[in-house]
Amino acid sequence: MAETFKIIPLIPVTAKPAQAYNELDVPRDHGQFVADTLQRPMRDLRISVTDRCNLRCTYCMPREAFDENHSFLPRAELLSFEEIERLAKLFIRLGVQKIRLTGGEPLLRRGIERLVESLARLQTKAGQPVEVALTTNAVLLSKKALSLKDAGLSRITASLDGLSEETFRRMSDSNVPVKTVLDGIAAAQHAGLAPVKVNMVVKRGVNDHEIIPMAGHFRNSGIVLRFIEYMDVGCTNGWRMDDVVAAREILEQVASRYPLRQVDPNYMGEVAERWCYADGGGEIGVIASVTQAFCHECTRARLSTDGKLYTCLFGSSGADLRAPLRMGSNDRILTNLIAGHWGQRGDRYSQIRHAATEIPREKIEMSYIGG
Ligand code: SAM
Ligand code: SF4
Ligand code: SF4
């Protein structure tokens, strides 16, 4: 049956006393799917569970900006697991089917398995279990893979930008051995979190010489390697278009060594374009967020570490859900805040990037908003 999408009337999202929120005249029927101004439903929720990280990838948290003087959020500012679970239930009522825990580095958040367990118990509006996934740099994954699986995690994506120690060090600005990450990925596979995906951000002149070695390494392993175009998220990574290696170029490189064949998407709106090795050696993906924007089918909402709702990775401001939550607002009010914010969404940054980058603009950092 075709789903109906309904925009719930907008109500203000600025902080108010709880009583004011609860007295707002909002419709009782808040259990609807919502669509934004471009008719995009809300299907995925990315939750940043911490803004901290044990790596300093130059394209995400460059050490110059994220050094000992950087103010990470104090503990009291973070949403608690109970608060996350409560908000997640409301997002699900509005159509969310998949939740991804991210950050920062989500495995740094103590007791993350407890959160996974509570989210994995939730059901979509159609009565299906909500899919709970997690993106990690895999540094702590060897220790955590089994307990995450036991807690009900559906899928895991690990990030790895090169196989040689030198490349990995240059990209992650850390002394963590590559083997630690590879062991983490292997542990996830053994724990049954298959198919494990591995994200590789490609930066021209830094790690593009590792495209073929990475493809060779993960071929025939059951792991899906995904090449990601380097994006201009945040304001600290000094992004330049010249540093981007386009997905087409990446595919050409891989195909020159290992012939490829394109595969249909798994579902509508899948961000990675899927390709298979012609000899049956498995699958790879490319995420062309810069050169082939997919804003028209973007169904992702993001909840920042301190409980702000962002409707685009390149957003500059979010709707505060934590203040009304902590002031005792009821579910109806919170649901309408979320729906109202989504209902007025018109984001399509990647489609208008060139115009947008000419205008200086504050963009939120990925580690805080959730990558
Ligand atoms: N720390 C975890 C990790 O690295 O997997 C989760 C958070 S990280 C922000 C999520 C994903 O965003 C990673 O796969 C990372 O490579 C990717 N990412 C971060 N900055 C990026 C950028 N400027 N361009 C493209 N991808 C980026
Ligand atoms: Fe940390 Fe992930 Fe960002 Fe690298 S990409 S700095 S691992 S949050
Ligand atoms: Fe979605 Fe914003 Fe990325 Fe476009 S730029 S795909 S709207 S997150």
* Residue 143 confidence (pLDDT): 97
* Residue 351 confidence (pLDDT): 85
Q: How many domains does the chain have?
A: 1
Q: Are 201 and 135 in contact (CB under 8 A)?
A: no
Alpha carbons 150 and 130: distance in angstroms, whole number: 16
User: How much is the average pLDDT of 337-351?
Assistant: 93
Q: What share of the chain is helix, strand, coil (3-state, %, to 5)?
A: 35, 15, 50
Segments forming the whole domain that contains residue 247 = 13-369
Whether 348 maps to a domain, the answer reads yes
CA-nearest residue, atom 8 of ligand 2: 104
Q: Are 36 and 311 in contact (CB under 8 A)?
A: yes
Whether 2 maps to a domain, the answer reads no
Question: What's the CA-to-centroid distance between 320 and ligand 1, angstroms?
Answer: 24
Q: pLDDT category, 101, cuts 50, 70, 90?
A: very high
For 276-324, the pLDDT digits (tens) are 999 999 999 999 999 998 899 999 999 999 999 999 998 888 999 999 9
**First vs last Cα of the chain: how many Å apart?**
33
Q: Cα 366 vs. chain centroid, distance in angstroms?
A: 9
* Residue 356 confidence (pLDDT): 58
Whether 223 maps to a domain, the answer reads yes
Whether 21 maps to a domain, the answer reads yes
* Residue 323 confidence (pLDDT): 98
> What CATH number should be reported for the domain holding residue 132?
3.20.20.70
* Residue 29 confidence (pLDDT): 42
Task: Please give the full DSSP string across 61-81, using - where no structure is assigned.
Answer: S-TTTSSTT--PPPGGGSPPH
Pocket of ligand 1 (CB under 6 A): 53, 59-60, 102-103, 105, 135-137, 159, 199, 201, 228, 230-231, 233, 237, 366-367, 371
Look at residues 109, 45, 46 and name the one whose alpha carbon lies nearest to residue 72: 109
Whether 6 maps to a domain, the answer reads no
Alpha carbons 107 and 143: distance in angstroms, whole number: 10
Strand 300-303 to strand 197-202: parallel, antiparallel, or no bridges (unpaired)?
unpaired
Alpha carbons 343 and 38: distance in angstroms, whole number: 9
